[in-house]
Structure 1
Amino acid sequence: MIILSKNDFDKTINLIENNVKTVPTFAYSVLNNYMSGVVYADSKNPETILIGTESGIYFVAGKENNQEFNEFLCELYNQRKNKELRFTLFSSNEYWDRIIHELFKDNLKQINRYSYIYDKKQSHDKKLIANEYSIRKISEELIASSSEFNEDYYNEYWGSVANFTAKGFGYCMLHRGEVICECTSIFASLQFSEIDIETHKDYRGQGLGLIVAKAFINHCLENGIKPRWDCDISNASSIRLAEKLGFDNPSEYSIFVKNV
């Protein structure tokens, strides 16, 4: 097994884009050098690859019946399990679903998810908020005062707050100076930005997430970025919000997480 250098990432992009229906945004984040990560491959001209972030999220694609690679995948899982580190594995198709089941048995639990890509060009109405509230672009100062998408969150997914503010973006809503709702890019790349959204428990049920997400989508459209929305297929409230925002025709895929 080898670790590909950044000079060989183009070969990986060709492999996944020619053979995979749904490529997760974080895979592009690594390949586009937006986030630190690693690309494991069976050779410099890969047939099977594993793209991983530093936080322990992985995407496997390519030739499924690659015994040496699959043994490596199990070894990586065991290493992270022994260190009590995260191991979340995104599958690229139903064939990999079966291989992962065979390799990991009951150690990993399968979760089915939807992936939406916003393919509309019309932006949302910018008159979005009552006078007592305000919407601001997320900054280091606002991250420091957030209870949900705080410094720990951005360190986990982006490596640092500084990297997020340099390459990512998000919007939040304030009420009396307090951050009450946020919509941020959990992952981003040259082409995509994936939405993560949270509303403070005291302000839920008022449609604030819809408003902040519209500001996020408008920013994407103004900057030639495609917004993405991923959620579990069992998350009815997330699906409803996605549809209200204009996301439709999702692709279904599977992830595998440690069974507890």
Structure 2
Amino acid sequence: MIYKADINMKKELSLMFEGFDSTILRSFLQGHMGTAWVNDPENPTVGQIILGIFAFYAGDPNATETEELLHNLPEDILVIVNTDEWKKRIETVHKGSFDKFQRYRFKKNPEDLNSSYLETLLSKLPEEYELKRINASIANDPSLHEISEDFTGQFDSIEDYLNRGVGFAILHRGQVVCGASSYSIYDDGIEIEVGTHLNHRRKGLATIASSALMLDCLARGKYPSWDAANPESAKLAKQLGYIYEGAYDTYYINNRK
């Protein structure tokens, strides 16, 4: 049997997941968003943390309840673990229902990010486009969510996003065509979500929207964390000044098979 964890288990879960370098995990462990499950509400030995499309596992991969936790997943989710033993367990339990690929991690060092350089990138916005902070009107505009539901999706509501989140959008003829926003938040910063409409790519819009978001975070003493899902995202991160740290395995679990 597994149990939903409450805030009183933060210390135990923080120790269990201390080997991870993820701001998304920090979002839960610092009490901002996400959910967690454990095998024992008093003395947990294995745990699961879910936030949006990400699920993390730590603790004993061979505990009696581990398989139940590994099946405690929504459809189409990304699973991240940090030991070979956990990887083998995932590949056994979800055999035939997973794809393994790599994401790209960057150092979380504010000194690597140059505000003056980012300011120069803002000047490259094409004349027919307009850069705006995401306000109530934009946050409720369907064109924003057509690009990515994850611009605001991890928050309890649009109002909650406007109170706790931050983002910038690029508009073309009144429609949102690009955005950079807080996928998740933690005490000292955000995890960035970036997306561009298919018809407006390769114009540097993602670079500009990301620069605006990064500058806003840095001015407020918050860190704009970047974790790349693909080589294109990694290339953009490097262009913006992030220092590449390494690739890591990620599992896409398709529970519909």
1:29 aligns with 2:30: no
User: Is the CA contact 2:70–2:90 (under 8 Å) kept in the aligned structure 1?
Assistant: no
Q: 1:156 to 1:126 in 2, by over 3 A?
A: closer
Partner of 1:2: 3
Partner of 1:107: 97
User: Is the CA contact 2:46–2:66 (under 8 Å) kept in the aligned structure 1?
Assistant: no
RMSD: 2.6
Classify the secondary structure of the residue corresponding to 1:105: coil
Classify the secondary structure of the residue corresponding to 2:17: helix
Letter in 2 for 1:10: K
> What is the CA distance between 1:75 and its match in structure 2?
4.2
Deviations 1:18-76 (A, max 9, x none): xx1433x33222222322423424453433211123x463210122232x131322442
Q: How does 1:82-231 map to 2 (within 5 A)?
A: 85-121=75-111, 122-123=114-115, 124-127=117-120, 128-129=122-123, 130=125, 132-149=128-145, 153=150, 156-231=153-228
Q: 1:135 to 1:116 in 2, by over 3 A?
A: same
1:246 aligns with 2:244: no
CA distance in 1, matches of 2:209, 2:153: 23
Q: 1:45 to 1:253 in 2, by over 3 A?
A: farther
Letter in 2 for 1:3: K
> What is the CA distance between 1:245 and its match in structure 2?
0.6
User: Is the CA contact 2:118–2:240 (under 8 Å) kept in the aligned structure 1?
Assistant: no
Letter in 1 for 2:185: A
Letter in 2 for 1:4: A
> What is the CA distance between 1:89 and its match in structure 2?
2.0
Classify the secondary structure of the residue corresponding to 1:149: helix
Return 5+ residue gaps in structure 1 as ranges. none
Q: How many residues align?
A: 247
TM-score under structure 1 length normalisation: 0.82
Deviations 1:231-251 (A, max 9, x none): 33xx33222111101112334
CA distance in 2, matches of 1:175, 1:57: 32
Classify the secondary structure of the residue corresponding to 1:110: strand
Comparing 55-64 with 147-156, greater Cα deviation is found at: 147-156
Q: 1:75 to 1:236 in 2, by over 3 A?
A: closer
Q: 1:104 to 1:152 in 2, by over 3 A?
A: closer
Letter in 1 for 2:65: F
Percent identity between matched residues is 24
Classify the secondary structure of the residue corresponding to 1:253: strand
CA distance in 2, matches of 1:177, 1:204: 17
1:256 aligns with 2:246: no
Letter in 1 for 2:21: T
